[in-house]
Amino acid sequence: MPDFAALVEKTGNAVVNIRTTERAKISQSGDITQDEEMQEFFRRFFGVPIPPTQPSPRGRKQTPAPEAEEEVPRGVGSGFIISPDGYVMTNAHVVDGADEVYVTLTDKREFKAKIIGADKRTDVAIVKIDGSNLPRLTMGDSDKIRVGEWVIAIGSPFGLDNTVTAGIVSAKARDTGEYLPLIQTDVAVNPGNSGGPLINMRGEVIGINSQIYSRSGGYMGISFAVPIDEAMRVADQLRATGKVTRGRIGVQIGEVTKDVAESLGLKHTEGSMVQRVEPGSPAEKGGVEVGDVILKYNGATIERSSDLPRLVGGTKPGTKATLTVWRKGATRDLTLTIGELEADEAGAAPQKKQKAPQKPNALGLSISDLSAAQLEALKIDGGVLIEASEGAASRSGLRAGDIVLRVNNTDIKNVSQFNAVVAKLEPKKTVLLLVRRGDSSQFVTVKPAQQ
C-alpha cells in the first residue's frame, strides 16, 4: 500500500473549507419567519400572509413582531487555491444561492470571498479572497489519468476540515448525462467534500470532487469528479469575464447503436446521430440533415455521442468548423459557422393525425400521408404518419404518431412510395427506418415479417 503522508503534507495546506450563508428575516423572538412556500400557502387560503407574532400576556392579542435580516448558515463545502493571489476553485452548487461566502485556510485564517463566476453546466465556480503568497495546488492533465491509479481526495465531509480519503480511478470519461464525462473513483466522498481536489500521486489536481452515486445520501463506493482540464478552461473564462461562452451548432443528437451502425454500413459504433436540426441554426445553414452521423469535428473523431457537445462547446462562437458526416453510405465534409449556446431551445410544432390508416404492411405498420399543413409545420418535405403499429414494428418500439422519413437509404415522400419500397424488401433482412418522434429523429431497426 502506498504511503500518502508526504503527499498530504505537500498539498493539504492549499485546500480550504468553504461555508456559505444567506440573509433571512428573523423575528424579535429569534425565530426565522415562514419561508416563501408557507407564505404562499397563507396567501392562497387566507388571502394575506400571516404576520409573525411575539409573546404577549394571557388574554391580550398578539401583535406583529418587528423583523430584521440576519445571516444564517446555508451550507459547507470545500475548495482549493489555484493562484497565490487568492483565486479559489470549487463547485458551482457549493456557492449557488449564497449571499455570503467564507473561506477558511488550514492555519484557521478566515476570509470573506467574492464570487467571480459560476458555471452550472460543468459545476465549476471561482471565488476570490484577498491574500498574497498563498499556497496553491499544481494542475495535472486529466487526459493522462489511468484507470487503477491511486488518487486522494481532501475536503470537509460533514464539515470536518482537511479530511483525507484515498482510492483508485475506477473509470475515465464516465457519461452521467451531464455536459461532460466525469472521472469515476472509489474514493470516499460525502456531503461537504464537494469542490475539493482529486489529487494524483504526483501531487497534481486531476479533478474536482463533485458528485456521488447514492441511495442513502451518503457514500456508497462510487464518486465522480469534474476533469481538471475542462475545469481550468471554464475557470479561465470566469476569471476573465465572469461567465462562460460556448459554441453551438443547433442539433439534437443520440448514440449510434450496433444495429444502426451495421445497417448504415459503418464499421464501428461511433459518432453522433443527428435526431433534430434546429431551424435557422448553424447546422441547418451548413447543410446538416436529420439522419446524418457526425463522425469527426475539426478532424477529431467522435468516439461517443457526448464528445460532440464538449468539442463544439469549446469552440469560440463565430469561428468556422468542419464536420465529417456519414450520409447514405458515404462520408462528406460540411463547413459551418459556430453559434453561441443559448439557455433555451426552441420547440417544434405538434403533430396531428389526418387520414384513415391503411391495412398493416409487411413491417406491421398502418400509415397515412401527411397534409401540406403538417409538412409545413414540421418543416419537412416528406414522410408518412404511423397510425397503428403491430408485429415487428411494435416490437421495435414504433407507435402511432411517429413519422417515417427514410427506409434504408431511400427518403420517403408519401404512402405510395413507402409501400413500393417495403414491397421490395427482402423478407428476412433487417430494415433501417429513420423515424421522427416529437422534435427529434432516430434510427430504428425492424425485421420484416416473413410472408
Mean pLDDT is lowest, of 3-12, 187-196, 225-234, 344-353, for 344-353
User: Distance between CA 178 and CA 41 in Å, rounded?
Assistant: 35
More confident residue, 242 or 218: 242
In the chain, the domains with their CATH numbers are: 8-53+66-128 (2.40.10.10), 138-241 (2.40.10.10), 248-340 (2.30.42.10), 365-446 (2.30.42.10)
- The pLDDT assigned to 260 comes to 87
Closest CA to 95 of 129, 125, 128: 125
- Cβ atoms 91, 123 nearer than 8 A: yes
What is the chain's mean pLDDT, rounded? 83
Q: Strand 384-389 vs strand 138-139: parallel, antiparallel, or unpaired?
A: unpaired
**Is 93 annotated among the ligand-binding residues?**
yes
- The pLDDT assigned to 214 comes to 63
Nine cell digits for residue 401: 404518431
* Res. 179 pLDDT band, cuts 50 70 90: low
Residue 194 is a catalytic residue: yes
**Is 440 annotated among the ligand-binding residues?**
no
Distances (CA, A) of 52 to 23, 24, 29, 37, 66: 17, 14, 9, 15, 8
Of 34-48, 164-178, 185-199, the range with the highest mean pLDDT is 185-199
Nine cell digits for residue 312: 463544439
- The pLDDT assigned to 354 comes to 41
**Is 190 annotated among the ligand-binding residues?**
no
- Is the pLDDT assigned to residue 286 strictly greater than 50? yes
User: Distance between CA 360 and CA 345 in Å, rounded?
Assistant: 36
More confident residue, 197 or 310: 197
- Is the pLDDT assigned to residue 112 strictly greater than 90? yes
| pTM of the full structure | 0.65
Distances (CA, A) of 392 to 360, 388, 446: 11, 12, 6
Residue 371 is a catalytic residue: no
Q: Among positive and negative, which fits the CA dihedral 309, 314, 317, 321?
A: negative
> What is the tens place of the pLDDT at every residue in 86-109?
999 999 999 998 899 999 999 999
Mean pLDDT is lowest, of 34-38, 163-167, 195-199, for 34-38
Residue 268 is a catalytic residue: no
- Is the pLDDT assigned to residue 268 strictly greater than 60? yes
Q: Which of 194, 263, 281, 368 is catalytic?
A: 194
- Is the pLDDT assigned to residue 451 strictly greater than 70? no
- Cβ atoms 306, 182 nearer than 8 A: no
**Is 192 annotated among the ligand-binding residues?**
yes
Mean pLDDT is lowest, of 8-22, 60-74, 224-238, 281-295, for 60-74
- Is the pLDDT assigned to residue 176 strictly greater than 90? no
- The pLDDT assigned to 357 comes to 47
Distances (CA, A) of 112 to 79, 99, 151, 308: 14, 11, 31, 39
* Neighbour-count burial of 39, counting CB atoms closer than 10 A to its CB (0-12 exposed, 13-18 middle, 19+ buried): middle
> What is the tens place of the pLDDT at every residue in 314-340?
898 999 999 999 998 899 999 999 999
Q: Which of 123, 161, 292, 369 is catalytic?
A: 123
- The pLDDT assigned to 65 comes to 57
Residues 6+ apart with CB under 8 A from 52: 27, 29, 31, 33, 34, 64, 65, 67
Q: What is the mean pLDDT of residues 376-401?
A: 84
Q: Which of 27, 83, 93, 214 is catalytic?
A: 93
Residues 6+ apart with CB under 8 A from 180: 122, 226, 227, 230, 306, 309, 310
Nine cell digits for residue 180: 461532460
- The pLDDT assigned to 114 comes to 95
User: Distance between CA 165 and CA 329 in Å, rounded?
Assistant: 51
